[in-house]
Structure 1
Amino acid sequence: MKCIKIFLVLLLSVALASCSKYLDVVPDNVATIENAFSSRNTAEKFLFTCYAYLPAHGSPTGVPFTAGDEFWLPFPQNSQYYFNDPFEMIARDNQSAFDPSLNYWDGSRGGKPMFRAIRDCNIFLENIDAVPGMQSAEKKRWIAEVKFLKAYYHFWLVKLYGPVPLIKENLPISAGVDEVKAKREPVDSCFAYIESLLDEAVPDLPLTITDEANELGRISRVTCLSVKASIMVAAASPLFNGNTDYTGFKDKEGTTLFNTAYDQSKWEKAAESCKEAVLAAEEAGLQLYRYTPVVSGNTLSETTITQMSIRNSIAEKWNAEIIWANPNSLAENIQRLAQARIDPLRIISQGPRSLLAPPLKMAELFYTKNGVPIEEDRTWDYDGRYALRTATEAEKYNLQPGYQTVALHFDRENRFYADLAFDGSVWYGQGRYDDNSPFVVQARRGQSASRTVGTLYSVTGYWPKKLVHYQNIILEGSGQAYSVVPYPWPVMRLADLYLLYAEALNESGRPYEEVCTWLNLVRERAGLLSVQESWKQFSTNPSKYTTQNGLRDIIQQERLIEMAFEGQRFWDLRRWKKAREVLNNNQIQGWDIEQSEAALYYRVKTLYTKKFSNRDYFWPIASRNLLIDNELVQNPGW
């Protein structure tokens, strides 16, 4: 009974079986809170325990990475080689309230137990003052870090479930049954509490991490302010701000859980938060990443350098653009999943999983070389985009000269070629650091990148090259013969912050010149003209950027392009309340990959037709929790 009561008090609606130890820090292996805070060393272990609950941001099975429309996988899946529960259950519209995939409420099916995480954060905050011999400044810093984590865990739950219980402090064991029953708090209250925790944390955090050998990945002031900015933008976005779809959503006492009235001041507040974060990032010396060739005497084209700047802003660990990276989530397996078999002498290797396949819609998302959408560029043949065309020597940095592919792959922006690999494309890396002799992808039936190893293949004919470090090498032999350069997953980088700032400024009604300043910084790194120049010169709607609605469309597409394959699209489509429109109106399509002839290979093949309803904006709470706690109400539609 004592274990069950602790479980209820701490809102752990997971395994009722036992009370887990906090840390094994005493000789007899029976830990107590007193042991955990008896010295600086044991307290530091508990601090790292609080960090350990961070979502595995770079894991395709631990976050909604493959749960949307950004990637597709072969179906049915072959569990002998690889099985992806979020893809099976969420992307393919099988999510269930009985046993939800990525259940972060309980901590099951790939989800971590967020309420247990919050409990441990509370235990830390309640006991850290008892640790003897610690310097005051260090203690304040640790407290600030844990307040950040506590805020972030609450926010992660809000992203998934909407209104959630706020666990401001742990209840005592003596609490009565009625006290421990959790009620969901209104969404605005959730955001206000999260914001207050972050504001409390900011003053006691270091601007940057100076002890890089031991502390990279820990929370800095720039991290805290930037994450706060992203949370304030989420709070101001249509999903949470004036969402009338949740009119009448109340708890059992009649408390309204969604404020359905739009509040313009939320955007103004978000803009101020973004500004504060940008200023802190500038003070800390952060800057958009620029690639410098590592091979002495090697001369690369400006095209390759630009594309490597885009790729390495993700894959070069701890580069100058990274605001926050998660060292507990190394991008290792995901690189295997993203790597195409580009070496024709090593096609039997199972080291590259070659499974993460962006659909055709992602290839069509990127701009033309003129920096405008493909359907909007008056110099680009949109209707003829599926016609065959042969690459020439002039395209050698992007495409294999003399090779036949579709017009869709010609005259596109650098991010298209940096982020995506496809039949006929160039792949810089694999031990060849020479512009004139790169590997190329050949993906038609019988070629090196085609379906040659069981169920390990791209089902669409595209690969997310952006995620793969250029120094990875497919080795000789079969099995796991693939040398990976791992990097901690970048949860947030400077380009992300700039785009959030532009969005908040636009929604606050600021002049387009001010808004475009932040868009243009990101575009310039990608080798594009400014928004103003691109639209004036090439768009069929040259004045689009001068209106708030037009600029909103530009900002959203810019963000979907820049942040492609980083796990942001899933959340952005939801907070913009565009998921229903985008997912229902765009089928999952790819090329006819079983064909060897170009004319047959480049036929569009529909793989799946998605279904998305309003209920899918939020996760279901596992139905067993509603039986355990009769104060809880389920999300609408579940």
Structure 2
Amino acid sequence: MKKYILYILVGIASWGLASCNGFLDVDQYFNDLYQLDSVFTKRSTTEQWLWKVYSRLDANREICNKMSSGFNFASDDLFYGDRTATVPCQSYQNCEYSPSKMLNEDRWGNLYCGIREASTFISNVDQCTELTNDQIEDYKAQARFLRAYFYWMLIKQWGPVPLLPDEGLDINLSYEELSTPRNTYDECVDYIVAEFEEAAIHLEQERSTAYLGMATKGAALAARAKVLLYAASPLYNGNHDLFELKDEAGNPLINQNYDERKWARAAAAAEEVINTGWYELYTVPVSEETVLPPAEVRSREFPYGCGGIDPYESYRQLFNGAIRDMKDNREFIFYRQFNNAGATGGEDLIDLVKHSYPHNSGWDGWNTNAVSLKQVDAYYMFDGRDKDNASEGYPYHEDGFITADDADSIYKFVNRASEEKYQVSRRFGNREPRFYASISFNGCVWESENAYKNQNGTVDIQNKPCNYYRGGENGKTSSEPEFCPFTGIGLFKYYHPDDTWQTSGAVYQTYKVEPTIRYADVLLWYAEALNELTQEYSFPTYDGRGTVTVSRNVEKMRSAFSQVRFRAGLPDADNYDDAAQFRVTLKRERQIELFAESARYFDLRRWKDAPTEEVGPIKGFNINITSSKREDFYKETVISRVQKRWMDKMYLWPIPKNETDRNVKLQQNPGWER
């Protein structure tokens, strides 16, 4: 009977991203077995093996990837509108995928390849005599972190998955005998958490410049907290809607009983990240250019208010590449350091920004990323009020346009942003700083500081406001109808003033890193988890040397949550004493703070809010209206191009059919045909 090997890797001579179609489909690697002994005798090839394991994080390109993992464009806030109507992330919206028609079918297999590669490394790295004992322990911990992270990526998308033995499987077993059923979700979580804890004990807290972006102690602890937060959330904590997902004996793979202790574990894990004292929110000092928040918010220095910082630049520079040395950024805990287009097939942050950058009239971007009106309306006013309860000092109007006098008095961000103030709708005035750092609208200035001068000595696109009206400089045209954000609202986040794509030839791209876990997220996890507690709980620390005790401590919730609000120039929340009200506030804060970071797609699912938030039409403005009738442009418009659809089976992705065909014990997710 034919034998199969589960832990042999792609050819040692090839360190590229070779295809790996499934965790049972490894017959092609049989001939490489004899090479393992030689690989781990040298430091160079040992390190190459580890770098290859890191390369499997390619499947984690969830922010900028619109093809294999386009979750950033698959919720209710941000959409990709390029010329190709069949871009996978568009199909995520209306469930145009199935076990036999996967939009990211290689992801499952590549992640299991990474798991096997990491296990092989852990089992063999001790053979390398050219490494010191400390280096071996650190490298082994990095591989352990990666293995756990790959499992995390699997359960985030598919729910409970098979856990493979760390040492691999017996090569003498038959293919049928190697078929592996899914573990329970709780078993997966416990394994992943234990692996992160073990990795954290041996990982370094900080990496040298040459190794930035690689696993650290803080990354392991933060990833552990994230896994535990998802496990505590309604989708996996007493969710009867997934009762059909059972093992062969009829036992549910997702626990049907609610357990508050899961929230407590998540809170304790987040507190351990905070207690390292290593991380902080990134801030930029106040300057003459700062648009000062209301006096009551800036009366105290950050982090007890927003005094001394520039909220707009603090948020904007965090993402746009302004931080040249990531050692100066203590907010990004784990991130993708190497995201150049050549390494990712054009699916990187530079590519994302180019698809946001204006098109025509000297600009040479694609101008296709579109933001929903729902996302725009989520942002607070400048003083922290909701737009429907705006104050006289910072009013909200849906009619009319901002004049020069208005901009010089109260619409200060628009004054900074636009030289053609009359083009700016009053609905875009007096918004919080994160709005202006994230959203592009008619009159929003794209600085293009590196644009070339024309023959007459002028620069046609430098510090120029964009124009999304039909027939306008960046609006819809008959010849190129899709080079315009189809909601009439564009994406500004990640854009750096130096980034320039000019039709005359000037191209300048600021290097950017892709955030995966940042400290603001940890603070929000902490507040969210504490909010759900009704009693006190104690847990041992990750290293067993201490104890963490958590309860619904309002002051601890405030300490975490308020930092995020103050960095944004907003007042603190006022509803900590009401768990239900604060839950609503926290969800909205995550929608704003983590916009365009691939968080909302999974947040709506883990909260079980997707059936209400991801149904109904997408709304924006009418991009068929010219500037001569600009009032009509801003009439709320249903965007027929994106057909939203929700079915409960969309909580979890279908396992690829080729995987369930190969592994007869692999149960399919509820609602999907095997």
TM-score (norm 1): 0.86
User: Given the superposition, is the C-alpha separation of residues 196 and 84 from structure 1 closer, same or farther in structure 2, using an over 3 Å criterion?
Assistant: farther
Q: 1:223 aligns with which of 183, 206, 219?
A: 219
**2:40 counterpart letter in structure 1:** F
Q: Distance in 1 between matches of 2:178 and 2:141?
A: 27
**1:307 counterpart letter in structure 2:** Y
Q: Distance in 2 between matches of 1:31 and 1:347?
A: 60
1:358 aligns with 2:400: no
1:463-478 map, 5 Å: 463-477=490-504
Q: 1:199 aligns with which of 194, 197, 200?
A: 197
1:278 aligns with 2:274: yes
Contact kept in structure 2, 1:232 and 1:266, CA below 8 Å:
yes
Q: 1:93 aligns with which of 95, 103, 109?
A: 95
Q: Distance in 1 between matches of 2:40 and 2:553?
A: 53
1:354-503 map, 5 Å: 354-377=367-390, 385-391=397-403, 392=406, 393-394=408-409, 395-398=411-414, 400=418, 402-427=421-446, 430=449, 438-451=463-476, 454=480, 455-477=482-504, 481-503=506-528
Contact kept in structure 2, 1:66 and 1:72, CA below 8 Å:
yes
Percent of aligned pairs sharing the same letter: 26
RMSD: 2.8
Note the alpha carbon deviations across 1:344-384, whole angstroms, 9 max, x for none.
xx62543x1211111111101111122133345576999x8
Contact kept in structure 1, 2:23 and 2:113, CA below 8 Å:
no
What's the secondary structure of 2:56's corresponding residue? coil
Q: 2:609 aligns with which of 561, 568, 578?
A: 578
Note the alpha carbon deviations across 1:163-196, whole angstroms, 9 max, x for none.
1001232113112334310101110001000001
User: Given the superposition, is the C-alpha separation of residues 503 and 221 from structure 1 closer, same or farther in structure 2, using an over 3 Å criterion?
Assistant: same
1:66-215 map, 5 Å: 66-74=73-81, 78-79=83-84, 85-104=87-106, 106-107=108-109, 113-169=110-166, 170-209=168-207, 211-212=208-209, 214-215=210-211
Q: Distance in 1 between matches of 2:564 and 2:90?
A: 35
Deviation of 1:93 (Å): 2.7
Corresponding residue number in structure 2 for 1:311:
316
Q: Distance in 2 between matches of 1:554 and 1:261?
A: 27
1:335 aligns with 2:353: yes
Note the alpha carbon deviations across 1:46-72, whole angstroms, 9 max, x for none.
011110001224432242221222222
User: More deviation in 186-195 or 125-134?
Assistant: 125-134
Deviation of 1:554 (Å): 0.7
Deviation of 1:397 (Å): 2.8
Q: Distance in 2 between matches of 1:561 and 1:240?
A: 24
Q: Distance in 1 between matches of 2:515 and 2:126?
A: 32
Q: Distance in 1 between matches of 2:436 and 2:258?
A: 40
1:493-532 map, 5 Å: 493-509=518-534, 510-532=552-574
Corresponding residue number in structure 2 for 1:300:
289
**1:98 counterpart letter in structure 2:** S
Q: 1:592 aligns with which of 619, 622, 626?
A: 622
Deviation of 1:157 (Å): 0.4
Deviation of 1:292 (Å): 5.6
1:58-69 map, 5 Å: 58-61=63-66, 62-63=68-69, 64-69=71-76
Note the alpha carbon deviations across 1:572-592, whole angstroms, 9 max, x for none.
11111111110114x211111
Q: Distance in 1 between matches of 2:500 and 2:120?
A: 45
Corresponding residue number in structure 1 for 2:28:
19
Q: Distance in 2 between matches of 1:272 and 1:17?
A: 40
What's the secondary structure of 2:414's corresponding residue? coil
Q: Distance in 2 between matches of 1:22 and 1:121?
A: 19
Any gaps of 5 or more consecutive residues in structure 1? 24-29, 108-112, 533-543
What's the secondary structure of 1:403's corresponding residue? helix
User: More deviation in 574-583 or 314-323?
Assistant: 314-323
**2:464 counterpart letter in structure 1:** F
What's the secondary structure of 1:357's corresponding residue? strand
Q: Distance in 1 between matches of 2:389 and 2:106?
A: 41
Q: Distance in 1 between matches of 2:108 and 2:225?
A: 28
Corresponding residue number in structure 2 for 1:606:
638
User: Given the superposition, is the C-alpha separation of residues 489 and 461 from structure 1 closer, same or farther in structure 2, using an over 3 Å criterion?
Assistant: same
**2:174 counterpart letter in structure 1:** G
What's the secondary structure of 1:492's corresponding residue? strand
Corresponding residue number in structure 2 for 1:288:
281
Deviation of 1:217 (Å): 0.7
**1:332 counterpart letter in structure 2:** I
Deviation of 1:131 (Å): 1.6
Corresponding residue number in structure 1 for 2:42:
39
Corresponding residue number in structure 2 for 1:5:
4
User: Given the superposition, is the C-alpha separation of residues 495 and 349 from structure 1 closer, same or farther in structure 2, using an over 3 Å criterion?
Assistant: same
Note the alpha carbon deviations across 1:442-496, whole angstroms, 9 max, x for none.
2212322223572322111112211212221233526xx5321121211111111
Q: Distance in 2 between matches of 1:378 and 1:45?
A: 59
**2:47 counterpart letter in structure 1:** E
Q: Distance in 1 between matches of 2:531 and 2:236?
A: 18
User: Given the superposition, is the C-alpha separation of residues 525 and 427 from structure 1 closer, same or farther in structure 2, using an over 3 Å criterion?
Assistant: farther
Q: Distance in 2 between matches of 1:128 and 1:497?
A: 33
User: Given the superposition, is the C-alpha separation of residues 121 and 14 from structure 1 closer, same or farther in structure 2, using an over 3 Å criterion?
Assistant: closer
1:255-270 map, 5 Å: 255-270=251-266
**1:561 counterpart letter in structure 2:** I
What's the secondary structure of 1:302's corresponding residue? coil
Contact kept in structure 1, 2:41 and 2:130, CA below 8 Å:
no
Corresponding residue number in structure 2 for 1:244:
240
**1:605 counterpart letter in structure 2:** T
Deviation of 1:396 (Å): 4.4
Q: Distance in 1 between matches of 2:412 and 2:475?
A: 22
Deviation of 1:430 (Å): 3.4
Q: Distance in 2 between matches of 1:380 and 1:247?
A: 52
Q: Distance in 2 between matches of 1:443 and 1:89?
A: 25
Corresponding residue number in structure 2 for 1:561:
592
Deviation of 1:593 (Å): 1.0
**2:118 counterpart letter in structure 1:** C
Contact kept in structure 1, 2:206 and 2:216, CA below 8 Å:
yes
1:233 aligns with 2:233: no
User: Given the superposition, is the C-alpha separation of residues 375 and 260 from structure 1 closer, same or farther in structure 2, using an over 3 Å criterion?
Assistant: farther
Note the alpha carbon deviations across 1:97-120, whole angstroms, 9 max, x for none.
21211235544xxxxx11111111
Contact kept in structure 2, 1:626 and 1:632, CA below 8 Å:
yes
Q: Distance in 2 between matches of 1:17 and 1:497?
A: 38
The number of residues matched between the two structures is 588
What's the secondary structure of 2:614's corresponding residue? helix
